[in-house]
Amino acid sequence: MKQGFPEDFLWGGATAANQSEGAYLKDGKGLSTADVMTAGKHGIPREITKEIENDKYYPSHQAIDHYHHVKEDIALFAEMNFKCYRFSINWSRLFPNGDEEVPNEKGLQYYDEVIDTCLQHKIEPLVTMSHFETPLGLLKYGSWQNRKVVDFFLRYAETLLKRYKGKVKYWITFNEINVMSTKPWMAGGIESTDESVTMAAAFHQLLASAKTVQLAHDIDPDNKIGMMYAGHIAYPNSPDPEDMQATVDFMHKMLFYCDVQCRGYYPAYKLKELERKGIELPIHDGDLEDLRKGTVDFLSYSYYLTHVVGKETSLDFQGLNGVKTGYTNPYLEKSDWGWAIDPKGLRYSLNYLYDRYQLPLMIVENGLGAVDEIAEDGEIHDLYRIGYLRDHIIEMKKAIEIDGIPLMGYTSWGPIDIISASTGEMKKRYGFIYVDVDDHGNGSFRRIKKDSFYWYKKVLKSNGENLE
Ligand code: BG6
C-alpha cells in the first residue's frame, strides 16, 4: 500500500503582494486599498485613511521590499527545496486605477521576472489574482458593489491568463473570499458593513470568479483554477442541540461562498436568509448560468485556528481578531495573538471540506505568527515554529494516509517574514527567513535563515517523511 505524501505534492510557501513587495508607487503602480491602511497592533485595528497622510505609517509602502529582492528570496525558497511558490499579483501594478484599457507593461515585466525566476528553479508558481488589494481608483465606482468592476477584473484576469499561458498552470481568483463577510475593506474596498452592500459585492466577486474560471479553461484547458476559503471551522461549545445549531449557522455564514464556487449555485439556506432580510442580489440574465459553468477545479484554504460556537454567540462578528464566538477551547493553547492552536483540527477540516465538496484540496496558508529574537549567537532559534508546523504536517499526513483525502499541496504562510494582514505589524513573524526590519520600517532588510529554515529544507527533501 502506498503511504506518505504523493510524489507530486506541492510543498512550498505563500505570500501576498501588498504584504511583501513594497515599492508601492514604483514603475507606474497605482494605489491599492492596502496602501491606505496604517499599522495597528493586537487588539488595535488598522486605520483606513481616505488618502495618504504624511504623519502616518503605511506598512505596505515598503513592506520587506520583496520587489527589489525577488531573485534572492526565490533562490532561498529553492534552497529549501520548494516545489511551489504561491504569491499574488497586485492588480494596481498592472492597471494603476483599475479601469484602464491597456495594462502597464512595466508592471507585467516585474511579474515576468517573478515567474521566470520560479521556473528557473523548477518551482511551480501558484498565482492569486486578488489578495486583499483592489485598485483605489475603483472606489469612484463603489468598488465591488458596482457590476462594472466585474468587467474590469475580467480584463485584468485575461491579461494574466494570456501573458502567462504555458508558464502558470495553478491560479486562485480571490484570496479568502469569505472575508467579504468579516472585513469587506480588505476583501474588496467596501467601506460599509451593511449586508445589502457586502452581499452585492460578494455576488459580483463570485460572478467574476466564475467567469474567470471559464475564460481560463478556454485560454488553456490545462489551467487549474481554485477558490480560496478563510478556513473558519467551528466546534459546538457543548452537546446541547442549541449549541450545535448555532455552529451550523456560523458555518453557513462562511461556507456559502464555497457552496457557490464549488457547486455552482447559492444554497437554499442563504437564499432564505437573504429573503428574510429583504436583500435582493443584483442578478442579470445569464448570471446563474455563469455561476453554474464556472465552478472551480480545486478548493484551497488557509488554516490557522478553530473556533468554538454556542447559543450565546453573536454571529455578527467583525474580522478574525474580533471573532465573538465567545468561548475558549479548554483543550487548546493560544498563540501570542490569541489564535487557538489546533493541529488535529486541520485533519478535521480536511475531512469536513472533502466530505462536502469532493474536490481536490490544498492548504495554501498555515503557520505560527510569533515574536522572534536574534540570539547572542546571531541565530534565530524558532523551535516553537518548528513544533507548530510539525504537528500540522503530521495531521495532514494522516488525512492522506488514513482518510484518503486528495491533497494537492501545502504552502506555509509567510516563508519569509512579511507584514501581518490583520495588524500591519512586522513583529508578528511567520517566516523561515528573518527579515531585519521593524514595525516602523527601520532596518537593513537583510535576510537571515532561522532554525526552521534548515528544518523545512529537510522536510521537503524527504517529501514530508523526516520531521525531526
Ligand atoms: C490570512 C491572509 O487571513 O491570514 C493573509 O490571507 C494573512 O494575508 C494571514 O497574512 C495571517 O494573518 P495575519 O494577520 O497574522 O497576517
Catalytic pick among 124, 176, 395, 425: 176
Q: Are 128 and 156 in contact (CB under 8 A)?
A: no
User: Which residue owns the Cα nearest ligand 1 atom 14?
Assistant: 422
Alpha carbon distance 427, 431 (integer Å): 11
Instruction: Decide the pairing of beta strands 361-365 and 224-230.
Output: unpaired
Alpha carbon distance 23, 68 (integer Å): 8
Chain centroid to CA 81: 22
CA angle 452/231/178 to nearest 5° reads 130
Buried b (16+ CB within 10 A) or exposed e, 15-25: bbbbbbbbbbe
Catalytic pick among 21, 124, 133, 365: 365
Alpha carbon distance 282, 238 (integer Å): 39
Alpha carbon distance 377, 230 (integer Å): 38
User: pLDDT in tens for each of the 468 residues of the chain?
Assistant: 678 999 999 999 999 999 999 999 999 999 999 999 999 988 888 999 999 999 999 999 999 999 999 999 999 999 999 999 999 999 999 999 999 999 999 999 999 999 999 999 999 999 999 999 999 999 999 999 999 999 999 999 999 999 999 999 999 999 999 999 989 999 999 999 899 999 999 999 999 999 999 999 999 999 999 999 999 999 999 999 999 998 898 899 999 999 999 999 999 999 999 999 999 999 999 999 999 999 999 999 999 999 998 887 655 554 443 445 567 899 999 999 989 999 999 999 999 999 999 999 999 999 999 999 999 999 999 999 999 999 999 999 999 999 999 999 999 999 999 999 999 999 999 999 999 999 999 999 999 999 999 999 999 999 999 999
DSSP 3-state of 302: strand
Length of the chain: 468
Q: Are 165 and 127 in contact (CB under 8 A)?
A: no
Alpha carbon distance 23, 1 (integer Å): 50
Q: Are 9 and 407 in contact (CB under 8 A)?
A: yes
DSSP 3-state of 44: strand
Alpha carbon distance 337, 282 (integer Å): 38
pLDDT for the residue numbered 321 = 38
What pLDDT digit, counting tens, does each position of 444-456 carry? 999 999 999 999 9
Instruction: Decide the pairing of beta strands 298-302 and 224-230.
Output: parallel
What pLDDT digit, counting tens, does each position of 376-409 carry? 999 999 999 999 999 999 999 999 999 999 999 9
How close is the Cα of 128 to the center of ligand 1, in Å? 14
Q: Where are the beta strands (DSSP E) in 63-220?
A: 84-88, 124-130, 170-174
Testing ligand 1's pocket by substitution, the residue of 21, 302, 307 carrying the most ligand atoms inside 8 A of its CB is 302
pLDDT for the residue numbered 325 = 57
Instruction: Decide the pairing of beta strands 10-14 and 84-88.
Output: parallel
Residues with CB under 6 A from ligand 1: 16, 19, 132, 175-176, 230, 302, 365, 369, 413, 420-423, 428
CA angle 115/121/123 to nearest 5° reads 65
- 373 belongs to the catalytic site: no
Alpha carbon distance 314, 324 (integer Å): 6
Testing ligand 1's pocket by substitution, the residue of 413, 418, 439 carrying the most ligand atoms inside 8 A of its CB is 413
Q: How far apart are the first and last CA of the chain?
A: 24
- 365 belongs to the catalytic site: yes
Q: Would the pTM count as exceeding 0.75? A: yes
Q: What number of CA atoms fall less than 13 Å from residue 258's CA on the CB side?
A: 25
User: Which residue owns the Cα nearest ligand 1 atom 5?
Assistant: 421
